[in-house]
Amino acid sequence: MNRRPPGYLKEPKNIIHDYIERNKKGKALNPYGVEQEDQSLYLAICREFDSFDDFLYEVYNDTGDDRYLPETVRKQQRWSLDKIKEELDRIYKQREIIKYHNKISGYNKKQYKIMRMLIYYFSSIERGLKNFNFIIRANHLERLCPVCKSNVLKYNSRKTICDDCRKSQ
């Protein structure tokens, strides 16, 4: 890498220019890659922009190139709540075994991602599962009654609410 003149990275246009040059050279564009390969550029981005995503949107606005959007650049995508719900439903329907021991490290790769996203959105796995009407019991997901959120529905049952809630309605 060539040395930059003093004060060069204090100008946002220079930061954007150097970032685009990284892309032309085929270098990593995600935050971790930039930090590892060009720490001065990474620190300039952090100093001049509120977040890395804000920086990426600025690059996108300058270039109009979709390759600079955060969802394209980031290696680890954040899942939407709908995607988490779909994955939990899939795990439930396939009766996948969940090796749950209150530590994030015991899950397979896909389950690990789901559990990380539950922590990201709800600050705990249990709270996140309860939000989607699930609990982990006997190493499987069990569906909770959406009304009382305490009674477990029978696996593959056509009932959508528990008998107690049905009687009270």
How many angstroms separate the CA atoms of 169 and 167, rounded? Answer: 6
- For the full predicted model, state whether its pTM sits above 0.75: no
More confident residue, 73 or 103: 73
Averaged pLDDT, 102-124: 76
By mean pLDDT, which of 36-40, 133-137, 164-168 is the weakest? 164-168
User: Average model confidence (pLDDT) for the chain?
Assistant: 85
- Written in H, E and C, the secondary structure of the chain is CCCCCCCHHHCHHHHHHHHHHHHHCCCCCCHHHHHHHCHHHHHHHHHHCCCHHHHHHHHHHHHCCHHHCHHHHCCCCCCCHHHHHHHHHHHHHHCCCCCCCCCHHHCCHHHHHHHHHHHHHHCCHHHHHHHCCEEEECCEEEEECCCCCCCECCCCCCCCCCHHHHHHC
